Structure 1
Amino acid sequence: MQPQATPLLHSIAIPSVELLNESLKPWGLDFIQLEKGIFHTHLTQLQLPQAVLQKISFDKQVWQRGVAPAECLNIGIMTQHTGPICWNNAPIQLDTLEVFSSSDGFDVISPAGFEAYTFSVHKSVVESYIEKSKLLIDCDLLLNSHQIHLCTPQYIDGLTRIFSHMLSETFSCQSPLAQTQTVLDLTNDLLLQLETKTIFKQRTSKTPRDKVIKRALDYILENIHSPINLSEICAITHTSLRTLDRCFKEKFQASPKTIIIALRLHAFRKMLISHPEQKIYQTASLCGFWHMGKLSEDYFSMFGELPSQTRRAAEHAPRKRLTVS
């Protein structure tokens, strides 16, 4: 993340996870909608010198995967949810502070109604404060490990108020010096919190079921443009159909068949958006769909619009994206 000379504040509604993935560079995201219906998300993003603050919300269940910005301390807090959430195999809640690794990916299923803040600050700022305050923190270890810290509700409430203020018009009208000081004070406060002996969990080791899920998903994604039989996945993962079903329902609250359909439809949708010049039947055949009537029916059920509507919107959409520089 390079320093952003001029503070920038964006607040936009995004109608699909595909456009959301494009909008959040350099977060390397691959979010996938799992719940049927028209998807809505709202993103507010503040870019400051050596820091980026974001607030994001989803109205549908989403499989969040990706990698946080490199060379940054990346933290997150959840402010709203409607069900239990496991982040890299560990439960998170409204009074936990998450530290995202800059070198390793994250994996979480977020329910509908999910809302959270993320704050990224450049390594140089973090190193400066660790040295200045003589904190007992290994900067490289902090930036490259997944951690979950249990905080007091009062601390999370205070952090939420600071984030909310920073995303307001009042803050954007402040002088650059005042804005920079807020970032420095916030970074110092976060480091002091992370140094304290709060209860925290680092990324937990994978269970046998996690390994089954990984092998299954790897196979599905490698063959995403072809019809996939559940017996093939059982053979690859060396499990029974019953065990496979249990593993998927534990992670996704959905059957393997449902997830396969969702992933294949997303691959088709992504190609529709990236190649709107192609005929729909050509894109469908490239993605392994041969029955156009069934495809249109499943697609409408999943996304609340027809493939032709997605393609038309992609043709006329300006190719803009939010960038974190």
Structure 2
Amino acid sequence: MGITVKTLQLTNFEELASTVKGASSEVIQLDPGRVSGFISNLTIDGLPVNVGSFSVGVRTRGVLSPDQTTIGMLTSTDGRVVHWSRDMAVGDVLVTPPGVEYGGRYFGGASVLTISLSNSGIRSFFAQEPRLCDLESWKKIHLRGVPDSSFIPRLLDILRQPMTMHSGLTDDAIAFWRRAIIEMMTLPVVRNAAAETLGPLASALKIVREVEDYVDRNSLKPIHISEVCNSLKVSRRSLHRAFLETFGMGPVTFLRRKRLCSVHTTLLEADPRLTTIADVAMQFGFINLGRFAGDYREMFGEYPSHTLGEELRKTGSIHYSSLSHVRMIKKLV
């Protein structure tokens, strides 16, 4: 029994994929700006707790856990947030079952908090509540948050206790904080709030997912919008409406920014001695290198040459800070 804490200070959008430790996620930066923020991955008596805060709008999708139920709460946001085709407000909870794909769009920076529970953990914690021991109750649930403005500050206060004092806590104290965090995070579920079904964005999300899957299958080549329409048998008008409703931007803009993200990831992982920016840019369909450089800098707040040389400037492949995680958690309140 114990507590471990690791905090990563964000320098790029790719690092957001580790917001939930062990997740298989894809993150695409959709709004311009240099990424800042942090991710704290905690383990409290075996309970995975993840806290993240980021500064730009992104698209996220993937599987959070193959064998655990993930309960996520939106703790702050600078703009609209959409998950499971539903708008989320601060304090709302999203329950993602094991192995189930999630998809979200953040229209600006946000802060999130997640915990993960195994099936046996759910049954053990809610042993006296038969309805909640039924795992069917935990499938695809989007729940409105507790209507209390002090709820999130109290939750984050509870979380800060084991982070600031974990070296001196007894096993009993650690077990207490673990139970307190689970109870707060699952309160909307315990209150028996009705699960919400897919909203009017469902058909738009279906089109968007088909496009994303098509692009992923052809990740080694640039994709033109006409190719997407022909391959998926969807009109330009329907495609544009689906992306506008889902992401707040048209498919051409989305695909261009996705290609910019692919360039960023490639440059970040490349050896500067063996890679040229022009070759990478053209590989992903950017022919006008002058315009590409301007768009890239507007998107990520740095020139491609800076990204390409970043790895050589780092002292290690992972840049964790154990000194700043408490200060960063305080920013979420």
Query: Does the alignment reach a TM-score above 0.5?
Result: yes
Residue 190 to residue 268, structure 1, CA distance change in 2 (3 Å): closer
Q: Are residue 182 (structure 1) and residue 177 (structure 2) matched?
A: yes
Once the two structures are superposed, the pairs formed by residues 60-209 of structure 1 within 5 Å of their partners are 60-131=56-127, 133-142=128-137, 145-154=139-148, 157-158=150-151, 160-168=153-161, 169-172=163-166, 173-187=168-182, 193-202=188-197, 207-209=202-204
Which has the larger displacement, 35-44 or 185-194? 185-194
User: How far apart are residue 195 of structure 1 and its match?
Assistant: 4.0
CA contact (8 A) 2:21 2:41 kept: no
Q: Distance in 1 between matches of 2:203 and 2:122?
A: 37
User: How far apart are residue 38 of structure 1 and its match?
Assistant: 1.0
Q: Distance in 2 between matches of 1:209 and 1:22?
A: 27
Q: Distance in 2 between matches of 1:319 and 1:46?
A: 20
Q: 1:51 — aligned with what?
A: 47
Deviations 1:48-105 (CA, angstroms, capped at 9, x unpaired): 2221222212211111212222333321221222333221112221242221222111
Counterpart secondary structure, 2:196: strand
Deviations 1:280-317 (CA, angstroms, capped at 9, x unpaired): 24433443444433332221121111111111112333
CA contact (8 A) 2:33 2:300 kept: yes
User: How far apart are residue 126 of structure 1 and its match?
Assistant: 1.9
The aligned amino acid for 2:233 is H
The aligned amino acid for 1:164 is D
TM-score by length of 2: 0.83
Q: Distance in 1 between matches of 2:286 and 2:48?
A: 41
User: How far apart are residue 31 of structure 1 and its match?
Assistant: 1.4
CA contact (8 A) 2:52 2:113 kept: yes
Q: Distance in 2 between matches of 1:153 and 1:247?
A: 32
CA contact (8 A) 1:50 1:122 kept: no
CA contact (8 A) 1:23 1:321 kept: no
Q: Are residue 296 (structure 1) and residue 293 (structure 2) matched?
A: yes
Q: Distance in 2 between matches of 1:159 and 1:51?
A: 19
Q: 1:307 — aligned with what?
A: 304
Residue 258 to residue 87, structure 1, CA distance change in 2 (3 Å): same
Q: 2:269 — aligned with what?
A: 274
Residue 114 to residue 273, structure 1, CA distance change in 2 (3 Å): same
Q: Distance in 1 between matches of 2:79 and 2:119?
A: 34
The aligned amino acid for 2:237 is R
Q: 1:218 — aligned with what?
A: 213
Q: Distance in 1 between matches of 2:219 and 2:188?
A: 43
Aligned match of 2:27 in 11, 31, 50?
31
Q: Distance in 1 between matches of 2:109 and 2:81?
A: 12
Q: Distance in 2 between matches of 1:257 and 1:190?
A: 38
**Once the two structures are aligned, what percentage of the paired residues are identical?**
20
Structure 1 stretches lacking a partner, 5+ long: none
Aligned match of 2:244 in 244, 249, 253?
249
Q: Distance in 2 between matches of 1:257 and 1:184?
A: 47
Residue 231 to residue 249, structure 1, CA distance change in 2 (3 Å): same
TM-score by length of 1: 0.84
CA contact (8 A) 2:146 2:188 kept: no
The aligned amino acid for 1:320 is I
Q: Distance in 1 between matches of 2:50 and 2:285?
A: 37
Counterpart secondary structure, 1:245: helix
The aligned amino acid for 2:65 is P
Q: Distance in 2 between matches of 1:170 and 1:226?
A: 48
